[in-house]
Chain A
Amino acid sequence: MMPPVEPIPNEDAIHRQIDFPGMYNDAKALIWENVFQFPKGEPESLVWGKYAATADEVHRIGCDREAKTRQRNPDMRYIGFISSTAGVVRAIKTRPGHGFSVVHAPAEGIHHAAVSYLSAGGTKLKRNEKSELKLALRQVFGGLVPHSSE
């Protein structure tokens, strides 16, 4: 049975776990960290700090996920996480008024949350508006808290 969906308060921490394929290690300096890609407009996954209160707990969730991921993609590595708060993400507004929603999405685990585009007036986002949102979202998350094995 799926846990109930809870409201995420603005002051709560949210974390984005980051994987990185080893084949790109030598090119990192050339790569822009587009850590939120929203493939096909789908939401992106977060870890809600309420259910992972310490860095070790966030890492443990990341390591568990990595073990499953590597069964189909052996090159993928969990390298750590970046953090923000739900309120800071919800406060993002680009000049046309687009932003994000942050909601609890416990189907993938009670710690799981999701961030989605929230367009002004429900309009269809243009490609450059999506790119700006991705940049704005990355900017409100801090630096990488590296996984100790890295």
Chain B
Amino acid sequence: MSLAETWIQITPIDALRETSARNWLPRWQAWPSPASNVAVVPGEAVTREALQREEMRQAMIALVQRFAAFGLSWRAGELAKITPTTHQVSEAFLRALPAANAFPKIAPDGEGGLLMVWEGADGPFILTIDDLRLHGVIAAGTPNAEYIDDVSIDSTQVIPDRILNAIPAR
């Protein structure tokens, strides 16, 4: 994949028109995808704010694709990539993130996983996507830190309730 190809995904026109023609693993094709076209955001008016949010979602998905293709590090050496499975799960996660929730900042974790970080009123919520497992810390780095260990995901629920409840509202 070239760098240019990763950016083809980010235009708002594509965000609205593109149906899910991506090369998903078959059993993940049924995962909910509110951003793939307007028809799957039932009842939501196509406001400027909604379009901006979908544009942001597509930019984040494009960034995840770059992390898979090229990697990212902050120090000389091999760029840390995310694994192909982490890539697909992360993309599905971002597509499934409800409009009520904030988008995270993201980065490769250096071990093939993807870090998602939300700044919340009670401290950061960190989520690590490690292939088909999710690992979270609520109020990370505080004395009240709460650990969510090894949550499995499957094709019926991309974002388990326990994780969704920990993600700050926007």
Q: Which residues of A contact B (CB under 8 A)?
A: 17-21, 23-24, 27, 30-40, 44-45, 65-66, 68-69, 73, 76, 94-96, 126-132, 134-136, 139
Contacts and interface: CB of A to CB of B under 8 A. Distances in A.
Given A23-B70, A24-B72, 18 more contacts: A18-B75, A20-B74, A21-B72, A21-B73, A31-B63, A31-B72, A31-B106, A32-B104, A32-B105, A32-B115, A37-B75, A69-B76, A126-B147, A128-B135, A129-B147, A131-B128, A132-B145, A135-B141
A127 B128 CA distance: 7
Interface in B108-150: 108-111, 113, 115-117, 124, 126, 128, 130, 133, 135-137, 140-145, 147-150
Interface of B: 3, 59-60, 63, 66, 70, 72-80, 104-111, 113, 115-117, 124, 126, 128, 130, 133, 135-137, 140-145, 147-150
29 contacts: A17-B75, A20-B74, A21-B73, A23-B66, A23-B70, A31-B105, A32-B117, A33-B74, A33-B107, A34-B74, A34-B107, A34-B110, A37-B75, A37-B109, A37-B110, A37-B111, A39-B77, A39-B110, A40-B111, A65-B76, A68-B76, A94-B141, A95-B143, A126-B147, A127-B111, A129-B137, A130-B111, A131-B109, A131-B137
Contacts, number: 125
Contacts of A131: 109, 115, 126, 128, 135, 137, 140
Contacts of A69: 76
A33 B115 CA distance: 10
Contacts of A134: 109, 115
Most buried by A among B59, B60, B72, B113: B72
A32 B107 CA distance: 5
B128 A128 contact: yes
Contacts of A30: 59-60, 63, 105-106
A64 B135 CA distance: 38
In the A-B complex, the 9 residue pairs with the closest CB atoms:
A37-B110, A32-B105, A69-B76, A128-B135, A34-B107, A35-B74, A127-B135, A32-B107, A95-B145
A126 B135 contact: yes
Nearest to A126: B149
A135 B124 contact: yes
Given A128-B128, A135-B126, A45 B137 contact: no
B9 to A, nearest CB: 12
Contacts of B130: 127
B100 to A, nearest CB: 20
Contact of A31 (B3, B76, B107, B111): B107
A78 to B, nearest CB: 8
